[in-house]
């Protein structure tokens, strides 16, 4: 691990998320505008580890706005902003929820408090189920549900989801070890507590180098050079290659060259809140790399 590079990526991401929070607080309601601002802020000092996700209301994860699907949230309940930065492959990952309708503040506040309690509870030797219990206990306190099929994850260099899964419910026997880098990611909802795949995909990652048409080969070469194994956005390809770039993505996905990340959604009408940060497990606790806690005051 390169602690200096990792901490730099965390600080870059923290500044980008603060900027996004201020942008929304000042009245911005275009998810595309917010995502673009986050991604551009990261690029000033680092690289994007994945596209900025904008989750409005029941959309939980894996939606990155496009130039045609801008994710306007002017009439929304709440919106989640989830982003990642990397320096030489050392990734930081964090998210916050902005409440648009005070009726849903408990959903966001539960995610916030669950994150705070979870990161302060981390110790080497803990089973992941213990973190899940901390998170689910906070959910009960607020009368909401944790999303059982979403959670945190171990991170390694150039590998956003490196194997260890940190559940939001008390299950799993895997053990947290000293030196691990993990993202803790409570998702809370007033819905059923489970997400399904939505109808579209706006985020992809490289799976294997195989293409047929000249354009698809050109797009594939660009993906290999610019993003490597990390996720990238449909809009990034469209802005580089025009609308034909989208057709190339579909061709590459059909060939199995790209992994697709379907939008993850709770039931329609539900609200989903999320807070997330990245930590490094130390002998007696965890170092928090991105401070999302003073973005909001309850």
- Known catalytic residues are 82, 93, 153, 161, 185, 276
- Which one, of 108, 115, 73, lies nearest residue 93 by Cα? 115
Could you give the residue ranges of the DSSP H alpha helices within 66-189?
105-121, 128-142
Tokens of 56: 């409005």
Cβ atoms of residues 169 and 148 within 8 Å: yes
Pairing of strands 258-265, 196-206: antiparallel
Could you give the residue ranges of the DSSP H alpha helices within 29-81?
31-43
- Which one, of 251, 178, 173, lies nearest residue 214 by Cα? 251
CA distance 190 to 47: 35
CA distance 229 to 207: 8
33 vs 3, 134, 274, CA distance in Å?
A: 32, 35, 20
Q: How many Cα atoms occupy the beta-carbon half-sphere of 179 within 13 Å?
A: 2
CA distance 17 to 222: 27
CA 26 to chain centre: 23
145 vs 118, 119, 272, CA distance in Å?
A: 16, 19, 10
């Amino acid at each position: 691990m390169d602690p200096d590079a990792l901490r730099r990526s965390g600080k870059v991401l923290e500044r980008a998320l603060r900027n996004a929070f201020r942008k929304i607080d000042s009245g911005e309601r275009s998810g595309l505008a917010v995502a673009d601002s986050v991604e551009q802020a990261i690029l000033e000092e680092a690289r994007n580890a994945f596209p900025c996700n904008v989750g409005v209301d029941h959309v939980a994860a894996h939606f990155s706005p496009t130039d045609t699907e801008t994710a306007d949230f002017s009439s929304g309940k709440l919106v989640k902003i989830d982003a990642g930065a990397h320096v030489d492959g050392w990734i930081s990952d964090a998210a916050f929820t902005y409440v648009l309708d005070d009726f849903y503040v408990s959903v966001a506040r539960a995610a916030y408090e669950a994150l705070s309690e979870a990161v302060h509870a981390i110790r080497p030797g803990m089973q992941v189920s213990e973190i899940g219990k901390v998170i689910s206990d906070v959910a009960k306190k607020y009368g909401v549900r944790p999303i059982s099929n979403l959670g945190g994850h171990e991170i390694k260099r150039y590998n956003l989801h490196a194997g260890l899964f940190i559940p939001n419910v008390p299950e799993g026997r895997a053990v947290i070890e000293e030196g691990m880098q993990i993202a803790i990611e409570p998702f809370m909802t007033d819905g059923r507590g489970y997400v399904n795949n939505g109808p579209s995909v706006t985020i992809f990652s490289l799976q294997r180098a195989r293409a047929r048409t000249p354009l698809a080969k050109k797009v594939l070469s660009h993906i290999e050079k610019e993003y490597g194994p990390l996720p990238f956005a449909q809009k990034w390809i469209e802005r580089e290659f025009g609308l034909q770039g989208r057709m190339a993505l579909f061709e590459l996905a059909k060939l199995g060259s790209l992994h697709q990340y379907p939008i993850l959604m709770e039931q329609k009408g539900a609200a989903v809140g999320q807070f997330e940060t990245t930590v490094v497990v130390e002998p007696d606790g965890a170092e928090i790399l991105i401070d999302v806690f003073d973005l909001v005051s309850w």
